[in-house]
Structure formats: C-alpha cells, structure tokens
A = this chain, B = another copy of it.
Amino acid sequence: MLRVTAPERRYVITFGCPDRTGIIARISGFLAEHGGWIVEAAYHTDPDTGWFFTRQVVRADSLPFDADGLRARFGEVAADLSADSSWQVSDTGERRRVVILVSKAGHCLYDLLGRVASGELDVDIAAVIGNHDSLADITRAHGIPFHHVPFPADGKTEAFEHVRKLVAEHDPHAVVLARFMQILPADLCREWAGRAINIHHSFLPSFIGAKPYHQAHTRGVKLVGATCHYVTADLDAGPIIEQDVIRVDHGDSVEDMVRKGRDIEKVTLARGLRWHLENRVLVHGNRTVVF
C-alpha cells in the first residue's frame, strides 16, 4: 500500500565472535573484495564478556554470488574469527513466514493482521492456531487459515503435539505467542528455540506468571508495561527483545490497566517481531543485542 516499489534485495550477515583487533577490517575487506555494497552496518562489543557482535546489510546485486554462495564463502571468515555457531547469512528475498498462537484475547492478533493487511509488515502469516475458536472468523476474513486446537485439562500433551505438527508444516521464521495463555512444554521450547516470541503483559521481571495486571494493581505501581521476549523453559525469563510502559494512576481499576496495557502489548510485540524478522536481534546468554 504505502510502499510503491519493492525494497532492493539484500543479504543480512549476523555474527558473534571473541573481540580482537582487525575483525571489522576482515569482514569489510572480504565484502569489499567482492564488490559488496554495505547499506547498514552495526557493531557492539560487550566489555564484560569480551564478545564482539555485528550485523551487516549488503545489496544483493552488488555481489557476484547468491545467498548460498555468500554463505559458503563467508564461512571461511567466520572460521578465521572463531565465530560462534549462530552466525547467519539471511536473504531478504526469502519471504518471512509467521505462525501465530492465540487464545481468546484478540488485541495482538487484530493488530498484527492489520499491519499485514495494510502492507506495513511485509510477511506471510501462514496460520493462526487457537485453543479457542473465537478468533477464527476474523483470521479467515483476512484469508489466513485458522486451526482450532482445544486444550482440555487432561489432554494438553496431545494438544501441544498437534500444535507442534501444525507449526512444523510451515517451518516458520517466527512462532508468535500473541497472548496464548498456555505454558509451552520444555521440548517445544527447545524445538522453537530462538524463534518463539512471547508478549508478556508486565514490565518483567515484575509480575511474572498469572494475572500481572492484578498484581500491578495490588502493588499500586504508577506505570504498567509489556515485555516481548524469546521463550525459554524458564517461565517469563527468556531474553528480552523489547519493553515499554504506560502511565496509570489511582483512578485506574484492574480493567482500566488491562485496557491501557493492551496498547503497549500490541506495539511492543509488533516491534519485537519486526526486529526478529529483520535479523536485528542477536542473543547473548540471556540478553539481547538489538541492532
């Protein structure tokens, strides 16, 4: 809609290695040697761990090889620099696929659907999976498949296995828990490691677990927040991608906090998801570098 011309195809290199002299020269020298036109470059050194991080964006048409070719050649550079195994070359020409898990609360889903429909978030929502079916109609109105997978108290293992298979069919770049109220089992956390993104409705580490707005109301805080983070086996303790807050006061009931908080949840999730899909987020221990 907004964008009238397709963005140029680009390769995105992300990379972490022990810090030392000459890393930038090595990487940029390699790219320059092949004519690579760098359009974005960001660096970070963590003085505590002595680890170096970078994200480089190169115009695809400036290099004489495709993404696989770049990957093969860059492997040598990565090896020379003792990069950790998470280094990547991704290709913006490969369309991003997303699967969204929901429950009853629709605000994050409505928001993501609207962003995709208006062309702002240029991804394919491959499927939406709900443990309730209340969001089926709106999903299908956007032309997107909706799968209803009930989660009976005595059948959660089977339900998660069903979800796992549905997700696996699409091999998505991101599995978004858009206020999905079920706690993922450890094996799914592993299978989706680095791809499962949750939005928690509090400013973590405050108010972990259930009913954070109730906890916030009881404590009498003056701001409520939301946290977008990678899912790990530790509940609400994974690496944080993005957080934001909104002001509340004594006049706000729990319901008012819930309502105000939703606006923060949806924009925080949308920002975190965008950054993840643009390969801007590098995980380092339990922290993130967001380029």
The residues of A with any CB-CB pair to B shorter than 8 Å are: 1-3, 21-22, 24-26, 28-29, 31-33, 35-48, 62, 104-107, 110-111, 113-115, 117-118, 120, 134, 138, 141-142, 203-207, 219-223, 225, 239-240, 242-245, 247, 249-251, 253, 255, 258-259, 262-263, 267, 270, 286-290
Contacts and interface: CB of A to CB of B under 8 A. Distances in A.
Contacts of A43: 38, 40-42
Q: Which 9 A-B pairs have the closest CB atoms?
A: A110-B114, A220-B287, A25-B32, A141-B141, A25-B28, A24-B28, A22-B32, A222-B243, A250-B289
A114 B107 contact: yes
A120 B258 CA distance: 10
B106 A110 contact: no
B243 A62 contact: no
12 contacts: A1-B106, A21-B35, A25-B29, A38-B43, A42-B42, A107-B120, A110-B110, A110-B114, A204-B206, A219-B286, A250-B289, A267-B267
Nearest to A283: B220
Contacts of A221: 203-205, 240, 243
Copies, count = 4
A242 B223 CA distance: 9
Nearest to A20: B37
A222 B272 CA distance: 12
A105 B1 contact: yes
Given A245-B223, A263-B267, A106 B117 contact: yes
Q: Majority SS of interface residues in chain A?
A: mixed
Given A47-B253, A220-B239, A221-B204, A38 B62 contact: no
A43 B40 CA distance: 7
Contacts of A251: 44
Given A110-B110, A253-B47, A41 B24 contact: yes
Contact of A21 (B62, B120, B219): B62
A142 B258 CA distance: 24
A193 to B, nearest CB: 17
B110 A138 contact: no
A2 B205 contact: no
Contacts of A114: 106-107, 110-111, 113-114
B259 A240 contact: no
Contacts of A222: 240, 242-243
Contact of A206 (B31, B62, B205, B258): B205
Contacts of A111: 110-111, 114
Contacts of A239: 220
A133 B40 CA distance: 38
Contact of A243 (B32, B117, B223): B223
A45 to B, nearest CB: 6
